[in-house]
Amino acid sequence: MNRFARQLKSYGQQLRAVMANEYRTIFSDGGVMLILIFALFIYATAYSLAYAPQVLRNVPIGVIDLSQTSTSRALTETFNAGPNTYVAYQPADMVEAKKLFFDREIYGIVYIPSDYEEKLLGGQQAVVAIYCDASYFLMYRQVFQEVVTTIGNTGAMVEFQRLIAKGANIPQAQATTQPVIYQARNIFNPYLGYGTFVMPAIIMVIIQQTMLIGIGMIGGTWREHGLYHKLCPAGRRHMSTLPIVLGRGLVYASLYAVTCFYILGLHYRLFHYPMNGATGTILLFMAVYMAACIGLSIAVSTLFRYRENSLLFLLWTSIPLLMLSGVSYPREGIPDWLFQFGQLFPSSHGVNAFIRIQTMGASLSEVFAEIKALVILAVIYGGLACIGTHLVIRREGGCECSAPEK
């Protein structure tokens, strides 16, 4: 047997030993199992259930009607006609309305002045004041959009009736009060659902963060207890770095292949998220994305000396990484240096590519730039993982056995 064949056989033995040991480590550690296996199920289900309604409905508002006329009451009734708002209170004055507003009983106030009907019937411009809670953007959008649309429609109807009373025919009156008719088409998210918008990004970040924390916990545990010598199979005095990194990576990839199969298959169907991507494109993307995340996680895990370090240093990074991906806040509004910093993490490229593939139905060529970036990150972080693992083993004096090498 030549040297190359012996080396391959040796690598195969080491690889099997590392994988067997890594599976034992994971399935004998409840904390690691919770993070690496169950966390993706738990987080994805919890977030999806929270966002299951998709669209915020029936936001309570208050209407101060100082006019107390038939036209003002008709306007008040229109706020109950749409699905987004309903009139929960009709306070007598602004003082009472403010109290309801600050007590979070209502999220918007409509102020109808006493001269509303007089100006409306007299051909003058009536003014209606709107106060919306802008501290919660979803509430603000629903209240503002519903109230403004309702008032606009009411104003157009009043003008239509005026024109008819002056002798205009119906087509003329319609053309004057509504000169432009638009047709809206919400592409890729037809119901403007919040869950459909945010869940693809959250799932990608969860995959990366659970890997970072879980693999970091394993790395910290091994260094804390000096267990690297267990990686060495019987009959060997030392191990090569590459089989260690590759073996560990294959174990994590196999675990996440199962969990991601559930998430992208059954979970997406249960919560009716868009599944517009081609199967081959999704599989290639997920393989590259997980390779980059695993390489980063193993590289980072070599920095932790204690098990708890992984949680302390990585748990808080989830929200910043989600923001750096450009989903929660537009990329155009993020400073260039901060956006470029975010490109160092697989999640930034993964979120963008996954949304375009699964939600928008992008082809492989259309996300080639993101996949290329993930391949580069996988190679870089894989190399750093090998370097870090080699340095840790040498520093800890691990991977050596008493039995002589044959």
Rounded Cα distance, 9 and 75, in Å: 82
pTM of the predicted structure, to 2 decimals: 0.81
Q: Is residue 188 part of a domain?
A: no
Q: What is the dihedral of CA 22, 23, 26, 30, to 10 degrees?
A: -150
Residues 234 and 261 in one domain: yes
Overall number of domains in the chain: 2
By C-alpha distance, which of 203, 206, 230 is closest to 218? 230
Note whether 317 and 209 are within 8 A (CB): yes
Q: Is residue 406 part of a domain?
A: no
Residues 133 and 238 in one domain: no
Residues 336 and 210 in one domain: yes
Query: Which structural domain, as residue segments, surrounds residue 66?
Result: 59-177
Instruction: Phi first, then psi: give them for residue 191, nearest 5 degrees.
Output: -100, 10
Rounded Cα distance, 370 and 351, in Å: 10
Q: Is residue 403 part of a domain?
A: no
Residues 215 and 147 in one domain: no
Q: Is residue 185 part of a domain?
A: no
Residues 276 and 336 in one domain: yes
Name residue 280's amino acid.
Answer: G
Residue pLDDT tens, the chain, 406 long = 577 677 677 777 778 888 888 898 889 888 889 999 999 999 999 999 988 888 888 899 999 999 888 888 888 888 888 788 889 999 988 999 999 999 989 999 999 888 888 887 777 788 888 998 888 888 888 888 888 888 887 777 777 777 777 777 777 777 777 777 777 777 888 777 888 888 999 999 999 999 999 998 888 887 777 666 666 655 556 667 888 899 899 999 999 999 999 998 899 998 888 888 899 999 999 999 999 999 999 999 888 888 888 877 887 888 888 888 877 777 778 888 888 898 999 999 999 999 999 989 999 999 999 999 999 999 999 999 999 988 888 776 555 544 433 3
Q: Is residue 33 part of a domain?
A: yes
Residues 361 and 230 in one domain: yes
Residues 148 and 284 in one domain: no
Q: Is residue 401 part of a domain?
A: no
Name residue 299's amino acid.
Answer: A
